[in-house]
Amino acid sequence: MYKGLWKIEETFKVTKSQLKTRPVFVSTTEHIKAHFLSCYIALVILRLLEYRLGWKYSSKKLARSMKLASGTLIESGYYAFDYYDEILEKLGNELDIDFSKKYLKLNEIKKIIGKTKKKP
């Protein structure tokens, strides 16, 4: 049991640093529970991605790459994506999503999202 303790400690570290579980800026019990549920779902997704990529990348590196992979609206219906790295390439290969495209139309983004919802 003691050998597995580091995994628990590392998980707490990830929730505090990458997922920003603290401080909580909500006050009702319902909202606090929803906040932590969202954080734990994000943690599960991070762990699944680590597993799918063969534990090659840390949760910190995965979270950073995914955060930087955001799009910027440049004009009506067109988005620019100016960040791409090895992690996004590997994630894209694993999830069948092309993160290398620099410009996408809104309908193309919606198709990618729709395609990911249909996967088993």
Written as one string, the DSSP assignment of 58-107 is -HHHHHHHHHHT--EEEETTEEE-----HHHHHHHHHHT--TT-SEEEHH
| pTM metric for this prediction | 0.74
| Per-residue model confidence (pLDDT) at position 2 | 67
Could you give the angle at the alpha carbon of 115 between the alpha carbons of 112 and 119, nearest 5°?
140
* pLDDT beyond 90 at 105: yes
What is the structure's pLDDT at 80? Answer: 95
Specify the length of the chain in residues. Answer: 120
pLDDT of 14 reads 73
pLDDT digits (tens, 9 = 90+) for 23-50: 667 778 888 888 888 888 888 888 899 9
pLDDT digits (tens, 9 = 90+) for 83-96: 999 999 999 999 88
Higher-pLDDT residue of 102, 40: 102
Mean pLDDT, range 60-73, rounded to an integer: 90
Question: In the prediction, which pLDDT does 21 show?
Answer: 66
Pairing of strands 78-80, 103-105: antiparallel
